[in-house]
Copies of this chain bind each other. A is one copy, B any other.
């Protein structure tokens, strides 16, 4: 997930790890934290894989100074990102994965967009049904707070399904337009 986000953000411009993390928080902060404790190890992993390279390392002036690294996307990194964009696996329809993927949705192929939206809809419908069943089953004996929480969750699920239906309808309309 972090790999995906880093590769996506580096399309804009080469960046310091620090700046990357700030951008990460601006664009994805609503779903994910992405601390330094995951960022720097992931950057090293991407370096090893050849998806990114260090550009213009600034050695600085101090005798024991730490390097300031600027990370830049490689051609292979762009390919890798395209690969990840085209993936519509189960991890793209859970809460975090879906949020992150949607951030790069205008860059993902139309058919993949469709599969992700439909997968997400199935997922949210499952949760909705689970919550409905929980609320129906033993309406009396369940804890007041749990019932309230389930009620909130149920309404949120119902709203999201409607929201997804609208997006899907819009996608289909777009697709028909380009076909004609």
Show the binding face of A for B, using Cβ within 8 Å.
Answer: 27, 29-30, 99, 102-103, 105-106, 127, 130-131, 143-146, 148-150, 152-153, 155-156, 159-160, 163, 167
* Residue of B30, B106, B144, B155 touching A143 (CB-CB under 8 A): B106
Sample of 8 A–B contacts (CB below 8 Å):
A30-B127, A30-B131, A102-B149, A103-B146, A105-B143, A105-B146, A152-B160, A152-B163
With A127-B30, A145-B102, A145-B105 as contacts: A159 and B163 at CB distance below 8 Å: no
Q: Contact between A159 and B155 (Cβ–Cβ < 8 Å)?
A: yes
Q: Which of A102, A145, A156, A159 has the most CB of B within 10 A?
A: A145
Q: Contact between A106 and B145 (Cβ–Cβ < 8 Å)?
A: yes
Is chain A's interface secondary structure helix, strand, loop, or mixed overall? helix
Chain B residue nearest in CB terms to A148: B167
Q: Contact between A29 and B159 (Cβ–Cβ < 8 Å)?
A: no
Q: Contact between A99 and B149 (Cβ–Cβ < 8 Å)?
A: yes
- A99 to B149 CA separation, bound complex (whole angstroms): 8
Residues of B within 8 A of A143 (CB): 103, 105-106
Residues of B within 8 A of A159 (CB): 152, 155-156
With A152-B160, A159-B155 as contacts: A106 and B144 at CB distance below 8 Å: yes
